[in-house]
Amino acid sequence: MNRSTIAILGLLCLILHPVFAAEAPPPPGTPKEFSLPEKTTFTLDNGLKVTMVPFGRLPKVSMVLQVRAGNLNEGSATWLADLTGAMMQEGTTSLDSKALNRKAAELGGSIGISVGSETTSVSISSLSERESEAIALLADVVRNPALPEDELPRIRADFIRNLSISRVRPQGQAAVAFNARIYGDHPFAAVYPSEEQLVGYGIEDVRRFYSTNFGAQRSHLFVSGLFDPAEMRAAVEEHFAGWAPGPEVFIQVPTPSRVGSLQIIDRPGAPQSTLLAGVPVIGVDDTAYSRLMMANDILGGAGFLSRLFQNLREDKGYTYGASTSTSNNYRSAVWRFRADVATEATGPALAEFFKELDRIQHQPPDPAEMDRIRGYRGGIFVLANASRGGIIGTLAFMDFHELPDSYLTEYLSRLDAVTAAQVNEVAESQWPVAEMTIVVVGDRSVIDGQLAELEELAPYLTD
């Protein structure tokens, strides 16, 4: 090594010495709370609620009309809400589907319709200078859908194709069994209709669902972006004031089952087993929900940072991924664990799931793990609210669940306040193994013996 090289290395050592000498990274700072842009909320005489939020610097504006009508409102007519939503995209009484999409594109955006378990969302985005035209187009789609009979066979055929694929997938089979057990006779129990049921839906069924479920007093319009508040309000009043109030909001809160059960669905020759387990938990309106979020992220809700992912994939190699999540409906919530594992690892994977449950219920997570999860969740929160659509999504979620503004503005401080002991407490109270609904889809000739070795499943496997 020549003298020049030695000199350079010596200089680098002097420069980098403080970095290498540091014993630990600085402690995380106090989280900076989210500052909600000033919003304006008003209600039209017909019951339509409107929330307008200035946001961003780009000359664009996004609008979402959330209607309290979804799969809940179908009764036994499973997927009729979805079929109606798809038909609403086929044009209005004055614009066919091509003209509708062309008009939306001219405004600088597009029309979107999304149907969920309890809501249907109709969205449009546009250039700020065309905001009034965008409101007019959104109102036309919602108030005057053509629901053309000649398009129904094509749309229905697409649904039938999707149904035929979904029903034979192991994940779909697991969901059918799980929801039936958890929700009983509630509409949420139905995951899929039969093909005969889909074929039987006629245009009058679609039009009846629309007319009996859509109206102003079930709806909330959210606007976010750069816009003129006075012009926007005037446009909303012009194009929505004449919308009929329609039906009142329909509420049917389920009482999910807390009776433990195991269902094994045979799938001969399957190279993988699908695991699905879950239990009712507290919802987002509960004061302890931040603790549940923290526990869930540690266990399986934070991707590769989570214990189940690290255990089942990185350490054991049983699966490509394992996750946990909580789905919130109005005044009801269910937590789920999901994984697709190698057939020969079915029993061992469930054993590790039960071990990780026991660990998070009884062993406090260390500060470093808590900080990693706070960083992850904080980052997700910031990204989720860094766009017009993100802000609208959060506000719509809060409105649906009747949450105060503090849910958003104090979100990070609540996460920061969660302690390791509280993680243990909420995990133990909310995830009792004895009350879980467990579904396994796999080759029973291979997996039955593995499942019989698990103590947690013994109550369900005794003759």
CB-based contact 437:277 (threshold 8 Å): yes
H helices of 117-151, where? 131-143
Q: Is residue 281 part of a domain?
A: yes
The pLDDT, as a whole number, for residue 32 is 63
Q: Do both 421 and 300 map to the same domain?
A: yes
Kind and range of the H or E run holding 95: none
Q: Do both 328 and 366 map to the same domain?
A: yes
Q: Do both 66 and 159 map to the same domain?
A: yes
pLDDT at 27 over 60: no
What whole-number distance in Å separates Cα of residue 323 and Cα of residue 170? 16
Q: Do both 334 and 427 map to the same domain?
A: yes
What's the whole-number mean pLDDT along residues 71-81?
98
What whole-number distance in Å separates Cα of residue 318 and Cα of residue 320? 7
What whole-number distance in Å separates Cα of residue 389 and Cα of residue 359? 38
- What is the strand order of the sheet 60-67 is part of? 40-43, 49-54, 219-225, 60-67, 120-127, 111-115
**Other beta carbons less than 10 A from residue 272's beta carbon:** 21
Q: Is residue 114 part of a domain?
A: yes
Q: Is residue 93 part of a domain?
A: yes
Q: Do both 172 and 303 map to the same domain?
A: no
CB-based contact 322:338 (threshold 8 Å): yes
CB-based contact 440:262 (threshold 8 Å): yes
The pLDDT, as a whole number, for residue 31 is 53
Q: Do both 324 and 180 map to the same domain?
A: no
Domain boundary among 240, 272, 292: 240
Three-state DSSP string of 388-402: HHHHHHHHHHHHHCC
What whole-number distance in Å separates Cα of residue 176 and Cα of residue 188? 10
pLDDT at 10 over 60: no
pLDDT at 3 over 90: no
Q: Do both 438 and 300 map to the same domain?
A: yes
Q: Do both 230 and 126 map to the same domain?
A: yes
**Other beta carbons less than 10 A from residue 259's beta carbon:** 10
What whole-number distance in Å separates Cα of residue 94 and Cα of residue 296? 49
Q: Do both 269 and 188 map to the same domain?
A: no
**What are the counts of helices (DSSP H) followed by strands (DSSP E) for the chain?**
19, 11
Q: Is residue 214 part of a domain?
A: yes
Question: Residue 18 burial by CB count (10 A; 0-12/13-18/19+): exposed, middle or buried?
Answer: exposed
Q: Do both 265 and 408 map to the same domain?
A: yes
What whole-number distance in Å separates Cα of residue 106 and Cα of residue 441? 49
Domain boundary among 205, 240, 275: 240
What whole-number distance in Å separates Cα of residue 63 and Cα of residue 134? 8
Q: Alpha-carbon dihedral of residues 67, 227, 55, 119, nearest 10 degrees?
A: 10
Q: What is the pLDDT of residues 297-312, one digit of tens each?
A: 999 999 999 999 999 9
Q: Is residue 17 part of a domain?
A: no
β-bridge mates for residue 334, sequence order: 280, 327
Q: Is residue 95 part of a domain?
A: yes
Q: Is residue 342 part of a domain?
A: yes
Question: Residue 19 burial by CB count (10 A; 0-12/13-18/19+): exposed, middle or buried?
Answer: exposed
Q: Do both 91 and 227 map to the same domain?
A: yes
The pLDDT, as a whole number, for residue 36 is 77
Q: What residue has token string 């698990």?
A: 454
Pick from 60, 61, 139, 155: nearest CA to 100: 139
The pLDDT, as a whole number, for residue 407 is 95
pLDDT at 280 over 60: yes
Q: Enter the tokens of residue 288.
A: 């302890």
DSSP code at position 187: G
Q: Do both 287 and 235 map to the same domain?
A: no
The structural domain count of the chain equals 2
Phi, psi of 341 (to 5 degrees): -125, 160
Least confident segment among 12-16, 76-80, 178-182, 389-393: 12-16
Q: Is residue 19 part of a domain?
A: no
Assign residue 419 the CATH number of its domain.
3.30.830.10
Kind and range of the H or E run holding 429: helix 420-430
Domain boundary among 240, 269, 304: 240
Tell me if the pTM is above 0.85. yes
β-bridge mates for residue 81, sequence order: none
| More confident position, 15 or 249 | 249
Pick from 132, 141, 131, 156: nearest CA to 61: 131
What whole-number distance in Å separates Cα of residue 198 and Cα of residue 167? 14
Q: In sequence order, which residues have a C-beta less than 8 Å from that of residue 385 and are 6 or more positions away?
A: 34, 391, 394, 408
What's the whole-number mean pLDDT along residues 371-396?
95
The pLDDT, as a whole number, for residue 1 is 44
Domain range for 293: 261-461
Write down the mean pLDDT value for the chain.
94
Pick from 402, 152, 156, 120: nearest CA to 246: 120
Q: Enter the tokens of residue 345.
A: 């690892």
Q: What is the pLDDT of residues 87-123, one digit of tens each?
A: 999 999 999 999 999 999 999 999 999 999 999 999 9
